[in-house]
Structure 1
Amino acid sequence: MINRKNLARLAGVGAAATVALGLFSTGAANADTFVPLPGGEIVKTLSDGTVVTVRLVGESANINPSLGSTPVHRNAWVSGSAQVELSGTGGDVGGKIYPGYTVGCQVNIAGGGASGGVEGSLDWSDGQNVKPGVGASSGGDLSLGPGQATSFYILDIEEADDFGSESHKKRNKFSGSSGSVTWADSTIGLTGCAGYAQARSFVSVEVETDSVITWVTLWGQPFSLG
């Protein structure tokens, strides 16, 4: 197995996080296939007048051929940048950015979520406001069968907890009115899927003001893993 490291540049917090993800092999192509993706933007006005703007820019995927040349192995390296701006009533409260990907095997993930056996600790009760759970995966090495889908985070930020012990966070916490996180060549490695496979990025943002706590989720465009 090949291992890669990717660097997440955290704007607004003056810190950097190294994202280390494993790598599985993928489809039986003879060369990498570069897929530019359009990203997107969502603007949500909260009940107290706070305006949350989430953007996904510079998004792309590089689909890599399988080292084993088997149809059940796929691999892609993904890149992008999530940008958040706050304005209005709570325009300086800061927030938390959770970037990640949903991957499905023979399941439609185009609707913002996945209809099928969604795994991982995410609250999918509202497809537009996906809420990360404490135990959600932060690795891109996946094994899925037909009709299954799962989600994972690309960040694994090491920092000290309240007691000085090492802890790992799946979000970039920013203060003030804006924050961002950029990732490059994060790996999606999928094995076990004999049918078609898709992936789709998401950026979930948590904002807490004096009167409201909310999640805003922006979905990227689905792309084929083969």
Structure 2
Amino acid sequence: MNIRKTAVRVAGVGAVAAAALGLFSTGAANADTFVPLPGGEITQTLSDGTVVTVKLVGESANISPSMGATPVHRNAWVSASAQVHIDGDTTATGGNIYPGYVVGCQVTIDGGNVSGGATGGASWDSSGNATPTGGVTSGANLTLGPGQAKSFYVLDREMPDDYGREIHKTKNKFNGSDGSVTWSDETIGLNGCGGYAQARAFVNVEVETDNVISWITLWGQPFSIG
């Protein structure tokens, strides 16, 4: 069985959607800033003819002054829906969806040079593209210094294992040709970053057929969290 890992970037992710900002409140010092984001879509044909389409729709972020009220504290609430469709002449009977976010402190996470490197659950290629690794955690209370980036998964599903012990799953398993995960007001809490900070959504999808296991990554557009 061949195993292939594919990472696909959304075109035109270099521009942050600053022009589309809206304010939810009128107080200038305490305003929540709503950022509509474009989401994304990719279609990947696997080596055995399986066609996998991954979409990120309804994506947005609400940036809020932190309760810590200092420049090193940031808060954001993010919402979106990850959708997967499997088509073609395929033996696939479903798959797994792992949605999450990469957060960076003084690190460019839209490609290009990555100042200072990145640690904590994201590997970076020579072009500066981040790929979440097996060390990615769930939860979003992050502490980052300059030049650091961390990834986290949106899902943290608590369930018993075969022996009744508590385990946590960061994926949504679906059967058939369609699956989705929707989240609303998922918190990103960032501490310790004295410089600029960015975040970026990703959707990892694992699809297995009789002939191939493929890991496909869809990236959303980077956005500033202050």
| Bin of the TM-score, shorter chain as denominator length | 0.7 to 0.9
Uncovered stretches (5+) of structure 1, i.e. residues with no partner: 1-27
Q: Counterpart of 1:65? A: 65
Alpha-carbon contact 2:110-2:129 (below 8 Å) kept: no
**Which amino acid is 2:72 matched to?**
V
Q: How does 1:126-205 map to 2 (within 5 A)?
A: 130=131, 132-133=133-134, 135-205=135-205
Structure 1 residues 51 and 183: alpha-carbon distance in aligned structure 2, compared to 1, 3 A threshold: same
Give, in whole Å, the separation in 2 of the partners of 1:123 and 1:54: 22
Alpha-carbon contact 1:203-1:218 (below 8 Å) kept: yes
Alpha-carbon contact 1:56-1:81 (below 8 Å) kept: yes
Question: What are the superposed Cα offsets for residues 137-169 of structure 1, whole Å, 9 maximum, x if unpaired?
Answer: 101001111111110001001122233322110
> Residue 118 of structure 1: SS of its match in structure 2?
coil
Q: Counterpart of 2:212? A: 212
Q: Counterpart of 1:108? A: 108
Alpha-carbon contact 1:61-1:78 (below 8 Å) kept: yes
Give, in whole Å, the separation in 2 of the partners of 1:79 and 1:115: 28
Q: Counterpart of 1:74? A: 74
Give, in whole Å, the separation in 1 of the partners of 2:112 and 2:186: 21
* More displaced 10-residue stretch of structure 1: 161-170 or 180-189: 161-170
Question: What are the superposed Cα offsets for residues 37-71 of structure 1, whole Å, 9 maximum, x if unpaired?
Answer: 00000100000000010000000000011223211
Q: Counterpart of 1:11? A: none
Alpha-carbon contact 2:109-2:130 (below 8 Å) kept: no
**Which amino acid is 1:218 matched to?**
L
Question: What are the superposed Cα offsets for residues 80-137 of structure 1, whole Å, 9 maximum, x if unpaired?
Answer: 000000011226420000000000111100129966443334555698894641x421
Give, in whole Å, the separation in 2 of the partners of 1:56 and 1:132: 20
Structure 1 residues 220 and 29: alpha-carbon distance in aligned structure 2, compared to 1, 3 A threshold: farther
Structure 1 residues 80 and 104: alpha-carbon distance in aligned structure 2, compared to 1, 3 A threshold: same
Question: What are the superposed Cα offsets for residues 149-199 of structure 1, whole Å, 9 maximum, x if unpaired?
Answer: 110001001122233322110000111101000000000000111110000
Give, in whole Å, the separation in 1 of the partners of 2:180 and 2:112: 22
Give, in whole Å, the separation in 1 of the partners of 2:65 and 2:103: 18
Identity of aligned residues (%): 70
Alignment RMSD: 2.3
**Which amino acid is 1:109 matched to?**
I
Instruction: Give the total of aligned pairs.
Output: 198
> Residue 221 of structure 1: SS of its match in structure 2?
coil
**Which amino acid is 2:77 matched to?**
W
> Residue 215 of structure 2: SS of its match in structure 1?
strand
Structure 1 residues 77 and 193: alpha-carbon distance in aligned structure 2, compared to 1, 3 A threshold: same
Structure 1 residues 165 and 67: alpha-carbon distance in aligned structure 2, compared to 1, 3 A threshold: closer
Structure 1 residues 114 and 225: alpha-carbon distance in aligned structure 2, compared to 1, 3 A threshold: same
Uncovered stretches (5+) of structure 2, i.e. residues with no partner: 1-27
Structure 1 residues 131 and 73: alpha-carbon distance in aligned structure 2, compared to 1, 3 A threshold: closer
Give, in whole Å, the separation in 2 of the partners of 1:98 and 1:205: 6
Give, in whole Å, the separation in 2 of the partners of 1:157 and 1:56: 21
* More displaced 10-residue stretch of structure 1: 193-202 or 107-116: 107-116
2:73 is equivalent to residue 83 of structure 1: no
Q: Counterpart of 2:30? A: 30
Give, in whole Å, the separation in 1 of the partners of 2:123 and 2:196: 25
Structure 1 residues 173 and 102: alpha-carbon distance in aligned structure 2, compared to 1, 3 A threshold: same
> Residue 205 of structure 2: SS of its match in structure 1?
strand
Q: Counterpart of 1:48? A: 48
Alpha-carbon contact 1:107-1:146 (below 8 Å) kept: yes
**Which amino acid is 2:65 matched to?**
P
